[in-house]
Amino acid sequence: MSERKEIEEIFSKSVRAGRRTYFFDVRSTRANDYYLTITESKRDFHEDGTPFYKKHKIYLYKEDFKDFEEAFTQVSKFIIKEKGEEVISDYKPKNKN
Protein backbone atom coordinates (compact mmCIF):
# COMPACT_ATOMS: atom_id res chain seq x y z
CA MET A 1 0.00 0.00 0.00
CA SER A 2 1.52 3.35 -1.03
CA GLU A 3 1.08 6.51 0.93
CA ARG A 4 0.04 9.45 -1.19
CA LYS A 5 1.07 12.86 0.08
CA GLU A 6 -1.60 15.52 -0.22
CA ILE A 7 -0.58 18.16 -2.79
CA GLU A 8 -0.32 21.42 -0.91
CA GLU A 9 -1.24 24.70 -2.55
CA ILE A 10 1.39 27.26 -1.66
CA PHE A 11 -0.20 30.29 -3.33
CA SER A 12 -3.28 30.66 -5.53
CA LYS A 13 -5.01 33.30 -7.64
CA SER A 14 -8.14 32.99 -9.74
CA VAL A 15 -9.60 34.98 -12.62
CA ARG A 16 -13.30 34.77 -13.46
CA ALA A 17 -14.14 35.21 -17.13
CA GLY A 18 -17.80 34.59 -17.93
CA ARG A 19 -18.53 30.85 -17.66
CA ARG A 20 -14.83 30.14 -17.22
CA THR A 21 -12.56 30.49 -14.23
CA TYR A 22 -8.78 30.34 -14.48
CA PHE A 23 -6.80 29.15 -11.48
CA PHE A 24 -3.09 29.90 -11.06
CA ASP A 25 -1.76 27.62 -8.33
CA VAL A 26 1.77 27.34 -6.96
CA ARG A 27 2.52 23.78 -5.87
CA SER A 28 5.54 21.98 -4.50
CA THR A 29 7.49 19.15 -6.15
CA ARG A 30 8.74 16.12 -4.24
CA ALA A 31 12.12 17.90 -4.06
CA ASN A 32 10.42 20.94 -2.44
CA ASP A 33 10.79 23.16 -5.50
CA TYR A 34 7.83 25.14 -6.84
CA TYR A 35 5.92 24.90 -10.10
CA LEU A 36 2.76 26.48 -11.50
CA THR A 37 -0.47 24.86 -12.58
CA ILE A 38 -2.90 26.83 -14.73
CA THR A 39 -6.39 25.35 -14.74
CA GLU A 40 -9.28 26.41 -16.94
CA SER A 41 -12.60 25.42 -15.40
CA LYS A 42 -15.71 25.84 -17.54
CA ARG A 43 -19.25 25.27 -16.30
CA ASP A 44 -21.38 23.11 -18.59
CA PHE A 45 -24.54 21.05 -18.28
CA HIS A 46 -25.46 17.39 -18.68
CA GLU A 47 -28.42 16.53 -20.92
CA ASP A 48 -30.63 16.37 -17.81
CA GLY A 49 -29.69 19.96 -16.93
CA THR A 50 -27.38 19.21 -14.00
CA PRO A 51 -24.20 21.29 -14.02
CA PHE A 52 -20.65 19.96 -14.19
CA TYR A 53 -17.22 21.52 -14.73
CA LYS A 54 -14.84 20.73 -17.58
CA LYS A 55 -11.25 21.24 -16.46
CA HIS A 56 -8.05 21.58 -18.46
CA LYS A 57 -4.71 21.88 -16.72
CA ILE A 58 -1.21 23.03 -17.74
CA TYR A 59 1.86 22.33 -15.63
CA LEU A 60 4.57 24.97 -15.95
CA TYR A 61 7.99 24.53 -14.36
CA LYS A 62 10.19 27.50 -13.54
CA GLU A 63 12.86 26.61 -16.12
CA ASP A 64 10.16 27.42 -18.72
CA PHE A 65 8.79 30.62 -17.10
CA LYS A 66 10.92 33.07 -19.12
CA ASP A 67 10.07 31.53 -22.51
CA PHE A 68 6.39 31.21 -21.55
CA GLU A 69 6.24 34.81 -20.34
CA GLU A 70 7.96 36.13 -23.47
CA ALA A 71 5.64 34.20 -25.79
CA PHE A 72 2.54 35.26 -23.82
CA THR A 73 3.65 38.91 -23.88
CA GLN A 74 4.39 38.87 -27.62
CA VAL A 75 1.10 37.20 -28.51
CA SER A 76 -1.02 39.42 -26.24
CA LYS A 77 0.70 42.60 -27.56
CA PHE A 78 0.09 41.42 -31.14
CA ILE A 79 -3.63 40.86 -30.46
CA ILE A 80 -4.04 44.28 -28.78
CA LYS A 81 -2.10 46.00 -31.59
CA GLU A 82 -4.15 44.31 -34.32
CA LYS A 83 -7.60 44.34 -32.70
CA GLY A 84 -7.42 46.81 -29.80
CA GLU A 85 -8.64 46.22 -26.27
CA GLU A 86 -12.35 46.41 -27.11
CA VAL A 87 -14.23 43.14 -27.01
CA ILE A 88 -15.76 42.37 -30.39
CA SER A 89 -19.05 40.53 -29.86
CA ASP A 90 -20.01 39.29 -33.31
CA TYR A 91 -20.33 35.69 -32.13
CA LYS A 92 -23.61 34.13 -33.16
CA PRO A 93 -24.23 30.59 -31.88
CA LYS A 94 -25.26 28.02 -34.47
CA ASN A 95 -28.89 26.92 -34.51
CA LYS A 96 -29.32 23.61 -32.69
CA ASN A 97 -32.08 22.56 -35.12
Which of 39, 68, 65 minimizes the C-alpha distance to 54? 39
Backbone angles phi, psi at 68, to 5 degrees: -65, -45
Rounded to 5°, angle at Cα 18 from 13 and 19: 90
Q: What are the chain's domains?
A: 9-83 (3.10.450.700)
Q: What is the 3-state secondary structure (H, E, C) of 46-66?
A: CCCCCEEEEEEEEEEEHHHHH
pLDDT tens string, the chain, 97 residues long: the values are 444 455 567 999 999 998 899 999 999 999 999 999 999 999 889 999 998 999 999 999 999 999 999 999 999 999 999 999 888 776 666 665 5
Q: Kindly write down the DSSP assignment for every residue of 57-91, as one continuous string.
A: EEEEEGGGHHHHHHHHHHHHHHHHHHH-SSPP---
